[in-house]
Amino acid sequence: MKRKVECFRSFLFFILFILFCTKKFENNHECRFWGIVFSEKTPAIASVITTHLDSLCKLGLLNPDGWGMGYFVPSQTDTLLPVIRRGEPAAVGDPRFSWNTLELLRNVQNSAVAHVRRGSSGLSGIPNPHPFRRKCINRRFDMLFAHNGTINVNILLELITSINPVYLEHNPPDYNPYYIDSDLYAILLAAVIDEYPDLTIEECINIAVAKLDSALGSGSVQLNFVMSDGYTLWALNFTKEEPKALTVHYYPDSTLSDFWVIASQPLDTMSSEWVEIPNRTLVRLRPREPVLFIPVYKREDLMRIRFKNKSLIQPNPFSEIVNIRYYVDRPSVVKINVYDSSGRLVKRLLDAFKFTGEYDIIWNGTDEKDNLLPDGLYFCHILSGESVDVLKIVLLH
């Protein structure tokens, strides 16, 4: 009888401890993720995966809204194919987490991503939807993506639509209309990667994050993520959450390594081997390559760096149509008007609200009544917020 009482007391203490931890950390605990990329699966790699996933499983106590893991396997087309497994109960109480860890160890090649969820958007009661799989349309890029934090769903929808009005039709969210912010975040990244096929993935991530940061304004911003295409691991630490920003770490602390790990927090006892990624920083991790640190610029700084000395008018002179490319540093009403050399207004091209971003507009050399204008020099005035740009355009029929 005495032994039963002691067991009951121990069990009660354990439950109270869990409730205390949950209450203590509920305000700054927003999901947890993990990712790995490696050159060759060895016993040492298998040990790291087992240790870290076991530790992630225990974090399910504070992230009770399910778990998910994804990994890459070889395919018949000589490419890597993502496989995803999910569970709705908390990972710590779900035996399928361990079963799927063993399945992952048997079959994974090159890379894997895992996540335990504390839901903040979408429909309650659904299994953890992380990691998300997103395939681009205009370039060969197939990714697994996991995020921790909360993002305004409406802003995400508006940003995706501003890049491509029909993109959500071609790359639809997994849940609609009960949108999940992390899924839309992954779609936003895919949309930008599709929009700029000539840019690196790192440049595209920088553009997407800068757009989102600007649109979200000065409030809480939680954009941390881990992403993999099977060969490279990307991770972002970007938060404005106070008093303690969410963190992202990589492992091991080494110049070169046969493998790299990303996690929201250290997941083993080798705390000295984990490196915290600075805030507003993207890292790229590839086996046997040094860690690449990429600062995430503000939108206006990014535009100045990327588009310095590039023409905004193409072609110039023009005979039939001219493309006018312009940039909005912060959300505002944008007005674009064309004037002739005497200062007379000849065409109103735009008067509309625009989010931070890059846009194009076409002018066909006509006036307000769609009459063709004579050859000559014209001036395009672009008013965005408090900034004014004046561009010279030469019309030659």
What one-character-per-residue DSSP string does 106-164 give? HH--SEEEEEE----SS-TTPPP-PSEEEE-SSS--EEEEEEES---HHHHHHHHHHH-
- The pLDDT of residue 354: 81
* pLDDT for res 125: 60
Average pLDDT over residues 312-324: 88
Cβ neighbours for 240, distance < 8 A, ≥ 6 positions apart: 218, 219, 220, 221, 222
Q: Calculate mean pLDDT across residues 174-196.
A: 92
The pLDDT score that the predictor gives to residue 345 is: 93
Question: Would you state the pLDDT for residue 305?
Answer: 46
Average pLDDT over the chain reads 85
Q: How confident is the model at residue 309 (pLDDT cuts 50, 70, 90)?
A: very low
Say what the pTM is: 0.71
10-42 pLDDT per residue, tens: 444 444 334 434 444 344 557 899 999 999 999
Find out whether 235 and 144 touch, Cβ atoms under 8 Å: no
Nearest C-alpha neighbor of 338 from the set 387, 300, 386, 376: 376
Q: How far apart are CA 82 and CA 133, in angstroms?
A: 7
pLDDT at residue 126 tops 50? yes
Q: What percent of the chain has pLDDT over 70?
A: 85
Mean pLDDT of 308-337: 80
**What does the DSSP assignment read for 252-299?**
---SS-SEEEEESS--SS-GGG-EEPPTTEEEEE-TTSPPEEEE---H
Name beta bridge partners: 347: 338
Each residue's pLDDT tens digit, 200-245:
899 899 889 988 988 888 777 889 999 999 999 999 999 886 656 6
CA 61, CA 56: separation in Å to the nearest integer?
Answer: 10
Each residue of 39-95: pLDDT tens digit?
Answer: 999 999 999 999 999 999 999 888 888 999 999 999 887 789 999 999 888 999 899
Longest dimension (CA), the chain: 102
- For 265-303, write each residue's pLDDT tens digit: 999 888 899 999 999 999 999 999 999 998 887 655 555
- For residue 133, name the pLDDT band (cuts at 50, 70, 90): very high
Whether 253 shows a pLDDT value over 60: the answer reads yes
Domains and CATH numbers, the chain: 30-300 (3.60.20.10), 311-395 (2.60.40.4070)
Sign of the torsion formed by the C-alpha atoms of 61, 63, 65 and 66: negative
Local structure of 196: helix, strand or coil: coil
Query: Can you give the pLDDT at residue 300?
Result: 54
